[in-house]
Structure 1
Amino acid sequence: MSNARTDRVATGLALRLFAIACLATMSALIKLSEIRGANLAETMFHRQLWAVPLVTLWVAAGPGLKSLKTQRFGAHVWRTAVGLTGMIFTFGAVVLLPLAEAQTFQFTVPIFATLLGALLLREPTGWHRWSAVIVGFLGVLIVVQPGHQAIPVFSAIVGLLAALFVALVAITLRQIGKTESAGTTVFWFSLLSVPVLGVVYIFNFQHHDPVTWAILIATGLVGGVGQLALTGAMRFAPVSAVVPMDYSGLIWATLYGWLLFDMFPTFSTWLGAPVIIASGLYIVYREQKLARGQASYAETPL
């Protein structure tokens, strides 16, 4: 591997780590704002509102505002609908669960992506990945401990639905990405979200002290920066290289949970999280291996 290529991958990895730190910080801010009286509608609205100027500036500084023109407006509307639904569950999981447990459920995204890819896209899925899916859900059972109430079942369902919709968004973006740039997609999602959330926000508006307002605004800014860093990471390194960096989120979630909320992961989470992580990493490994095999086949002369 050339030094230039190595530098690009290293940049991608650094951006992904930074992005995960930002998103973990955003989750902590969501939980802080909820404790201080802000509701779900408020946090979602401010998350999207303050991301719009950030994304607009980023696109203007890069490919230019002309790149925002789209011929697939309907696809962006669908992505927004799926994204907002997923945001409800994602933010809800952060509110209902300790940060480490909410983060652990996010690690099931590769599992759901495999299921959805097989069911919706008819992607071939061998026994290796199906085995990893089964192992991953066993890890979820270890974390939840059904019958022992290690984690409330309703909260666990919300956490799993959050991961399901993140996987659905990933599949949607895979389809949109065939014709649309990442910056264009992020911009339209942010912009289309604001009016919808604004209507809901009107009926949920509350007065807050200056600190709470600052937390709500910071939620949007930090989340927007994290989203841009995620997008930037994909420009420098392949998915298979950067996805393992996502598991650093558990470190941040544990740290914030301890420092801000005096909460540590449960014993069942320490047991189940490595199982879920191993499952996700194996799925990523299999996808990388299959992609290499297909590339080699395509390059073989007839």
Structure 2
Amino acid sequence: MKRHATFLPVFVALFGLGCFSVMDGVMKAASLSVGPYGALFWRNMLGSLFMLPVYLRARRRADARGLPGRDAMKLHWLRSSVAGTMAVLFFYGVVRTPLAESIALTFIAPLIALYLAAVTLGEKVGSRAVAGSVLALGGVVVIAAGKFGGRYDAEAVKGLVALLVSAVLYAWNLVLQRRQAQVAGPEEIAFFQTFLIFLLLGIGAWWLAPLPAPVTWIELAISALLSVGSLMLLGWAYARAEAQVLVPLEYTAFIWAALVGWIGFGEALTLRTLGGVVLIVAGCLIALQRSAPSEMEMV
């Protein structure tokens, strides 16, 4: 295996995660306007419209006809159900807690996902992957330690609980992402996940999705483009690298969140945050090193 065969998916996944983090900041603004449920419903409607011609073009190139196979559609429905519930809970929490704290809580997901991948995908979790993940989690703890002090009101507590449940669902989503990438292309993944979540959220849209204001439509359109772009990038990366290689990269989302908070919301980067970022990056680098001889012999 050539070295770029591993590092290109890593680079693509990092870029995809960056798009997702910027999207989180835009979606927080939209959620404050129309609520998390409404923001997700309208964003996925726009995302479906954006992705439909891209998906149809990809189908024509592959000379494919009709819907994807039964196994692929089952995975699309399953991941859309998990991701839709996860996203509603996440943005419910985001509008009640600072963005940095919200992202920090989601970092329990990659650790859960590593072991879920071992159970459901048959992947062997190496000692370096575990050690790197633990070190990266330590970086999150360093950053979060200065943010969880003080007293919370009832709404903030609800937000924290929603974020923790969302993080568990996110771990399941990460594993499904790897399985989905093995049976479907990035255009198919992005279109069906966006469209199926739109259909699922349509059940309660009459009551929970008010029409957005013109400015909010712009935020939703930007968010939709970032979302479908990230889905395609991550779908491409997960089709070419194991979950245990890419999952630890989820910790870098905090770096992107810090930048979004600084640029978009005027949040200062503290020494504690910078120290945590160093641990996160170090943990990811350790986790990406493959130690088993059988894995290195083709490099």
> What corresponds to 2:102 in structure 1?
102
Select which of 158, 175, 189 maps to 2:193: 189
Tell me which residue corresponds to 1:29. Answer: 26
**Distance in 2 of aligned mates of 1:122 and 1:235:** 16
Q: 1:151/1:162 Cα in 2 relative to 1: closer, same or farther (>3 Å)? A: farther
* 2:40 corresponds to: 44
Distance change (3 Å), C-alpha of 1:17 and 1:135: closer
Q: Go from structure 1 to structure 2 and tell me whether the alpha carbon gap of 1:202 and 1:267 turns closer, same or farther (over 3 Å shift).
A: farther
CA distance in 2, matches of 1:133, 1:146: 21
After superposition, the Cα gap between the structure-2 partners of 1:157 and 1:114, relative to the gap in structure 1 and judged at 3 Å, is farther
Indicate if the aligned counterparts of 1:55 and 1:228 stay in contact, CA closer than 8 A: no
Equivalent AA in structure 1 for residue 213 of structure 2 = D
1:76 aligns with 2:76: yes
* Deviation at residue 39 of structure 1 after TM alignment: 0.2
Structure-2 change in CA distance of 1:177 and 1:211 (3 Å): closer
TM-score (norm 2): 0.75
Contact 2:107–2:140 under 8 Å retained in 1: no
Letter in 2 for 1:22: C
Residue 56 of structure 2 aligns with which residue?
Answer: 60
Alignment coverage as a number of residue pairs: 290
- Structure 2 residue aligned with 1:255, among 259, 275, 288? 259
CA contact (8 A) 2:31 2:95 kept: yes
Matches within 5 A, 1:105-254: 105-120=105-120, 123-125=123-125, 127-145=127-145, 149=149, 154=157, 155=159, 158-233=162-237, 249-254=253-258
Shift of residue 23, structure 1, vs aligned partner: 1.9
Distance 1:62 1:236, change over 3 A: farther
Of 74-83 and 123-132, more deviation after overlay is shown by 123-132
Q: Distance in 2 between matches of 1:115 and 1:25?
A: 28
Q: 2:279 aligns with which of 275, 281, 284?
A: 275
Are the structure 2 counterparts of residues 260 and 151 from structure 1 closer, same or farther at C-alpha, using a change threshold of 3 Å? farther
Look up the match of 1:293: 294
Distance in structure 1 (CA, Å) of the matches to 2:31 and 2:253: 21
Corresponding letter in the other structure for 2:193: F
CA gap 1:135/1:284 in 2 versus in 1, 3 angstroms: same
Check the 8 A contact 1:108/1:280 in 2, yes or no: no
Alpha-carbon offset, residue 50 of structure 1: 1.6
Q: CA deviation at 1:203?
A: 0.6
Note if contact 1:98-1:265 (Cα within 8 Å) is conserved in structure 2: no
Counterpart CA distance in 2 for 1:165 and 1:174 is 15
Shift of 1:151: 9.5
* Cα distance in structure 1, aligned partners of 2:76 and 2:99: 30
The Cα shift of 1:97 comes to 3.6
Structure 1 unaligned residues grouped into runs of 5+? none
Q: How big is each residue's C-alpha offset from its partner over 1:234-293, in whole Å with a ceiling of 9 and x where there is no partner?
A: 5788878877876664444223312332223566544444434433443333xx444x62
C-alpha distance after superposition, 1:124-168 (max 9, x if no partner): 445554444544544444344399617968455544544433331
Between the aligned partners of 1:270 and 1:157, the Cα distance in structure 2 is: 27
Aligned AA for 1:226? S
TM-score with structure 1 setting the length: 0.74
% identity of equivalent residues: 22
Aligned mates of 2:273, 2:150 — CA distance in 1: 9
Unaligned runs of 5+ in 2: none
Q: Secondary structure at the match of 1:96?
A: coil
Residue identity matched to 1:189: Q
Secondary structure, counterpart of 1:264 in structure 2: coil
Return the letter of the residue paired with 1:34: S
2:43–2:220 Cα contact (<8 Å) kept: yes
Q: Could you tell which deviates more after superposition, 190-199 or 238-247? A: 238-247
Compare 229-238 and 109-118 and name the one that shifted more. Answer: 229-238
Q: How far off its partner does 1:40 sit?
A: 0.7
Check conservation: 1:47, 1:224, Cα contact below 8 A: no
Query: Structure 1 residues 244 and 175, CA, compared in 2 at 3 Å: closer, same or farther?
Result: closer
CA root-mean-square deviation: 3.9
| Partner Cα distance (1:129, 1:237) in 2 | 14
Gap change, CA 1:58 and 1:209, over 3 Å in 2? closer
